[in-house]
Amino acid sequence: MAQSPVARHLKKLLETAKTQGAAGDILTQIQNCLDCEKARDDYCDTITSPSSEAITNLITETENHPWQHAFEEGKIQWRVGPRMLSGALEGSFLKMLTGMSNAKRVLEVGLFTGCGALAMAEALPTDGQVVTCEITEYVADVARKLVDQSPHGKKIQIMVGPATESIEQLAKEKQKFDIIFIDANKEGYIDYYKMIMDNDMLASRGTILIDNALNGGTAYLPKEKLLLDENKLAQHAVMKEFNDYVYKDARVSQVMVPIRDGVMMIRWSQDFEGKA
């Protein structure tokens, strides 16, 4: 999960205060602010109903997997790791939304090791299905083994290859989905969204969920206030451009939920408004 801009600034402030010999009570108050933010996140995790044993095991095995070794051996093209997990809290959030919507068909763009896919699959009926896209065969194989440790794993279909090609294939087959969860490369979000919307892949009364919609603060803060390294700043405008694109799309209505790194919920406008 991306660290919040507030936490980054507080840590910077604490370092500066220590260097300049600030009074002890000032240092204590800065640390209290950091502790409060962490306590809130920890409380959200602990007060939420526990994840299933299968998801807990999936998270543990993902954290312990030798990702660096796999990268060095050329099995994966990019450095990946546990930070890419949806995590227990967001997984439970996805599961709750899937169950509330009475969904039967889910599309996920960006699988990684299957935390989000399995969480949503757990909320589906026996004949429900999660179709999920993963670009790297090695990662898809890891995910397949992990989700198949759950009885709900049989509901998950993994499509390996570029997400645009997988979405294009599903569009040609006229497939529709009740829940669509996008959690992949951020620069691809607009393309994925356009393909889904322009090919009418979102079912009536369906919902699109956009992960990392706040993107560590890059969606709403200028560069000079982010305290990010140059590599992360290179994509500074990507998430803001996507959010603005959705905001201007008259076909839909949306709400930003500040859970973890932000989740944007998008629905057809006619489904967002009730009848008077």
Residues forming a β-bridge with 257: 263
d(CA 127, CA 125): 5
pLDDT digits 0-9 by tens, 254-270: 999 998 899 999 999 99
Return the closest-CA partner of residue 81 out of 67, 64, 97. 67
The yes-or-no verdict on residue 221 having pLDDT over 70 is yes
Does the domain at residues 52-272 carry the CATH identifier 3.40.50.150?
A: yes
d(CA 38, CA 203): 38
**Per-domain residue ranges of the chain:** 1-47, 52-272
Output the average pLDDT for the chain.
95
d(CA 254, CA 219): 15
pTM of the model as a whole: 0.93
Give every CB contact of residue 101 below 8 A, 6+ residues apart in sequence: 178, 179, 205, 206, 207
pLDDT digits 0-9 by tens, 162-205: 999 999 999 999 999 999 999 999 999 999 999 999 999 999 99
Band (233; pLDDT cuts 50, 70, 90) = confident
